[in-house]
Structure 1
């Protein structure tokens, strides 16, 4: 993660509490970054209506945007209280994600912060279609934060995949680790590193001989195979971390599907922020991102590969 100089905060006019703004202020105070309050405004009634001509509709749109700017202005004192450079922007657009991506491309943004929906009963994040679009296409780090009272990242986990893949850049894992270290340092937290890999299950192993698989492989012992696979991933994991000073308790090599293992690891390790990489194909460490993130109960920092 490069230095954080400008934070784009995606504001939510449907809520009085702006979780994204609170967290952006926390980060800006520690990095001296500027903040842009960004709101996407749209009302289909002001696009076409039998009772108004085009000039009247344009005037209604202009006044609607002005009212949203006045709403944004109510949050300026909260930011200026900490001597943070702040600006505002309201754009008229029917698609929030497209508007955000256009703003990122034109304004030199280094971090996007957006709130997500949180169900306090089942501790589950509900991502919106806009969230998914931003996760897949946002070219700068994207922080999706929950609507909670404690915004400190005491434990930051970077999820990596040392296995080489044509769907991700070779430097993506290093960028994920670096982002995790940066966020942990900002919040005086601890950085954890994890890698989930999925070996062949015993049932598939037993059935391989019936479909013409390599008999030399079948002559081996399943436990020997499991040990060999673990060793292979351990070597790759160790090689990736060789330039860092992580102790053994901070690293987690987990056998199993990331879809199931990663949310459980986040829970057991009491992780506050998960740093993940998004490959160009919209997938994360071999699984669709939806399957993983729907069950991860913490904030997400996505790094685009």
Structure 2
């Protein structure tokens, strides 16, 4: 499924969770790995103490230092029989460097370690993770602290009740990725479908409106839709979950309940002012999870950052 994996390393972290995850996945999938580091130091660009040639030599020295650091990391892993490359670039915007490397190397998966971000800071200074979710041309696996034990649990978050073709197509891609990962990790795949609560204003404006009957009909519709989707993919009905509420509440709740090691979900890649104001469902979900997240792009998605 994933032939070429780009692993984003963080020189500021002692533990490289993404690398550990990538090596395990590469061994299982026989994938080629690229260890990627993006570095930048503004002081080197602004100093007047050095000539242009001296600044270039300093950059090259720092790049080589990081390359040696990455190579040293590999000594702690069994990478025999794996194709592993190391790429270090000087770039002031890490997410752009990562996406460019993805295009240039033909990578079909990005793996990166992540952590909870300060919410206010995330609104003003969007983290690299969020840029990748919105703009990366391929799936992104964000790694947290949870281990990948054998016979574990994987959740595919779908919108089974959606009638438009784009959401139905995304459901198919989420399930395909979830099934593939469940086979690789010898895990059990669950499907989760969330549906909204009854609009409060309807009950206020229309006194005779029966919210309980409305919600029962909505739930029944989503249960049947999810069952139909599961049958098409031969997924056990015992692993189907229909929950009332927002995905950012219900996905983490189910993940905690079944101790899931991975959640597979779709991201529409909202960008611009709307993204800054509202964010994306995937991003809100990720903030609440303590397990890995595999974000799948819609079919035909084109990154706003074109390959150079």
TM-score class normalised by the smaller sequence: 0.7 to 0.9
Q: Is the 8 A contact 1:168 1:280 kept in 2?
A: no
| 1:234 paired residue among 202, 223, 230 | 223
Match of 1:177 in 2: 175
Answering whether residue 292 of structure 2 is matched by residue 299 of structure 1, we say: yes
Q: For 2:236 and 2:6, how far apart are their aligned partners in 1? A: 35
Distance of 2:28 and 2:282 partners within structure 1: 30
Contact 2:161-2:221 within 8 A present in 1 as well: no
**For residues 147 and 254 of structure 1, do their structure 2 counterparts lie closer, same or farther at Cα, with a shift above 3 Å needed?**
closer
Structure 1 Cα separation of the partners of residues 247 and 148 of structure 2: 26
CA contact 2:230–2:237 (8 Å) conserved in 1 = no
Deviation, structure 1 residue 223: 2.1
Superposed displacement of residue 92, structure 1 = 0.8
Structure 2 portions without partners, runs of 5+: 118-124, 299-308
Q: Write the mapping of 1:1-305 to structure 2, written as runs, cut at 5 A.
A: 3-79=1-77, 81-117=79-115, 129-147=127-145, 150-152=147-149, 154-164=152-162, 168-201=166-199, 203-209=200-206, 219-281=208-270, 288-305=281-298
Partners of 1:10 and 1:113 within 8 A in 2:
yes
Asked which structure has the greater CA Rg, the reply is 1
Q: Aligned with 1:171: secondary structure? A: helix
Task: Compute the TM-score of the two structures, normalised by the length of structure 2.
Answer: 0.85
Q: Residues 168, 95 of structure 1: CA spacing in aligned structure 2 closer, same or farther, 3 A cutoff? A: farther
Shift of 1:8: 0.6
- 8 Å Cα contact 2:267/2:280 also seen in 1: no
**Greater CA deviation, 260-269 or 25-34?**
260-269
Give the CA deviation at 1:137.
1.2
The structure-2 alpha-carbon separation of the partners of 1:17 and 1:170, relative to structure 1 and needing over 3 Å to count, comes to same
| Structure 1 residue 128, shift from structure 2 partner | 7.1
Equivalent-residue separation in structure 1 for 2:284 and 2:163 (angstroms): 20
Which is richer in helix? 2
Q: Which runs of 5+ in 1 are unaligned?
A: 120-126, 210-217
Distance 1:8 1:255, change over 3 A: same
* TM-score (normalizing by structure 1): 0.85
The separation in 2 between residues aligned to 1:33 and 1:27, in whole angstroms, is: 8
Q: Is contact 2:202-2:209 (8 Å) kept?
A: no
Equivalenced residue count is 284
Whole-Å separation in 1 of the counterparts to 2:251 and 2:41: 40
Deviation digits for residues 172-226 of structure 1, max 9, x if unmatched?
111101111111111111111000111315x4332123xxxxxxxx645322211
What do you get for the CA RMSD once the two structures are aligned? 2.4
Q: Distance in 2 between matches of 1:297 and 1:208?
A: 41
Which residue in 2 is equivalent to 1:123? none
